[in-house]
C-alpha cells in the first residue's frame, strides 16, 4: 500500500515547456513537501505547504486538502530542471513520513 | 555553516561486518532522521530522534540501531551487515516533524 502516489513516473519535456507533476496521498497530513534530487544524489527541499499555493521563481506548488492532492508546476522549463522530484507528507498522527517514488524529469534543450 | 554532513560517503562491507554512519548538523535542529533509498522505492524511514537522548523506530528499523548522545549528532549502526542493507543512506534534520527537512549528501553502502 502506497500512502503517496506520484504521476507521471517519468517525464521528458522540451526546453520552455510548462510541466506539471502530480501527487496524491491517502493519509491525514500536517504538511506536504516537494523535494528535488539531482543526478548527483543530493536532496533539497523545494516547498513545504499545508494549504493553498506557494511560488518560488519558476516553481509553483499547490495543494487541495479536501481532494488530498498536490501539484508541482515548472514554468519555462530549462535543462537544469532535470532531476527527480519527490512528494512527501508528514502524517498528522505524528512522526510518520511517507514518500512517493519520485518523478524523473528530463528537459531537452 | 555546513548544514547536514554524513561520513563516510562510500563504504563496502562484507556480510557480517559492522559499521557506524555518522550524521552531524549545525542548525540546532531537534529532529533528526535516517532514511534508506533503494531503486524503484521511495525514501523509507529507518529511525528518527526528536531530541538529544531520544530515538524511535521508523518504517524499516530491523538490523539497525541508532544513538543521539549529542544534539548535533545522530549515529546509525549496522551490527551484522547483510546484502539486503545495500542501499544509499540519507540523514536529515528539521525543527519539528512538519517543518522543512535538510538532507545530508548520502552514504552509498554496498554489502557483499
Which pLDDT tens digit goes with each residue over B14-53?
999 999 999 999 999 999 999 999 988 888 999 999 999 9
Cβ distance B42 to A48 less than 8 Å, yes or no, reads no
In chain A, the residue whose alpha carbon lies closest to the alpha carbon of B34 is: A97
Tell how strand A103-108 and strand A83-91 pair up. Answer: antiparallel
Task: Select from A63, A70, A60 the least CA-distant residue to A7.
Answer: A70
B interface mutation test: which of A43, A48, A65, A94 has the most B CBs within 10 A?
A43
Cβ distance A45 to B100 less than 8 Å, yes or no, reads yes
- Cα A74 to Cα A55: distance, rounded to the nearest angstrom: 10
Chain B residues closer than 8 Å to A48 by CB: 98-100
SS3 A54: strand
Q: Give the model's pLDDT for residue B4.
A: 97
Q: Which residues of B touch A (CB under 8 A)?
A: 33, 40-45, 48, 50, 56, 58, 88, 90, 92, 97-103, 105-106
pLDDT over threshold 90, residue A33? yes
The shortest C-alpha distance from B108 to chain A (Å) reads 10
pLDDT over threshold 90, residue A15? yes
State the residue for C-alpha cell 530549462: A78
Q: Give the model's pLDDT for residue B98.
A: 75
Taking only Cα atoms into account, the Rg of chain A, rounded to an integer number of angstroms, comes to 13
Q: What is the pLDDT of residues A43-68, one digit of tens each?
A: 999 999 999 999 999 999 999 999 99
Q: What is the pLDDT of residues A59-100, one digit of tens each?
A: 999 999 999 999 999 999 999 999 999 999 988 886 678 899
Q: Give the model's pLDDT for residue A91.
A: 86
In contact, B25 and B72? CB cutoff 8 Å? yes
- Cα A28 to Cα B8: distance, rounded to the nearest angstrom: 36
State the residue for C-alpha cell 511560488: A55
Tell how strand A83-91 and strand B102-103 pair up. Answer: unpaired
Nearest by CB to B90, from A31, A43, A45: name it: A43
Q: Give the model's pLDDT for residue B104.
A: 96
Nearest by CB to A101, from B42, B56, B101: name it: B42
Nearest by CB to A41, from B40, B98, B106: name it: B106
DSSP string computed for A5-22:
EEE-SEEEEETT--EEEE
In contact, A85 and A72? CB cutoff 8 Å? yes
Cβ distance A42 to B40 less than 8 Å, yes or no, reads no
Q: Give the model's pLDDT for residue A1.
A: 62
* Angle B29-B21-B32 from CA coordinates, rounded to 5°: 20
Q: What is the pLDDT of residues B86-111, one digit of tens each?
A: 999 999 999 987 778 999 999 999 99
Average pLDDT on B3-11 reads 96
A interface mutation test: which of B6, B41, B44, B97 has the most A CBs within 10 A?
B97
SS3 B83: helix
In chain B, the residue whose alpha carbon lies closest to the alpha carbon of A91 is: B98
Average pLDDT on A18-24 reads 98
pLDDT over threshold 70, residue B1? no
Nearest by CB to B97, from A90, A98, A100: name it: A90
DSSP 8-state code for residue B29: -
- Per the prediction, chain A carries an average pLDDT of 93
Quickly list H helices, chain A.
Answer: none
Amino acid at each position: 500500500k502506497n500512502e503517496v502516489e506520484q504521476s507521471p513516473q517519468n517525464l521528458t519535456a522540451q526546453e520552455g515547456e510548462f510541466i506539471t507533476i502530480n501527487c496524491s496521498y491517502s493519509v491525514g497530513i500536517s504538511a506536504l513537501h516537494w523535494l528535488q534530487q539531482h543526478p548527483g544524489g543530493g536532496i533539497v527541499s523545494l516547498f513545504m505547504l499545508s494549504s493553498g499555493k506557494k511560488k518560488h521563481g519558476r516553481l509553483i506548488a499547490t495543494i487541495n486538502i479536501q481532494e488530498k492532492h498536490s501539484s508541482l508546476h515548472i514554468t519555462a522549463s530549462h535543462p537544469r530542471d532535470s532531476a527527480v522530484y519527490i512528494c512527501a507528507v508528514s502524517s498528522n498522527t505524528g512522526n510518520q513520513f511517507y514518500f512517493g517514488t519520485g518523478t524523473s524529469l528530463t528537459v531537452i534543450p | 555553516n555546513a548544514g547536514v554532513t554524513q561520513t563516510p560517503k562510500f563504504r563496502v562491507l562484507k556480510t557480517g561486518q559492522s559499521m557506524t554512519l555518522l550524521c552531524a548538523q549545525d542548525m540546532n535542529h531537534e529532529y533528526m532522521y535516517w532514511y534508506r533509498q533503494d531503486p524503484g522505492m521511495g525514501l523509507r524511514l529507518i529511525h528518527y530522534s526528536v531530541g538529544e537522548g531520544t530515538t524511535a523506530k521508523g518504517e524499516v528499523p530491523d538490523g539497525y540501531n541508532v544513538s543521539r548522545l549529542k544534539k548535533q549528532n545522530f549515529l546509525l549502526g549496522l551490527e551484522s551487515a547483510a546484502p539486503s542493507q545495500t542501499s544509499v543512506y540519507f540523514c536529515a534534520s528539521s525543527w519539528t516533524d512538519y517543518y522543512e527537512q535538510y538532507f545530508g549528501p548520502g552514504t552509498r553502502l554496498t554489502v557483499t
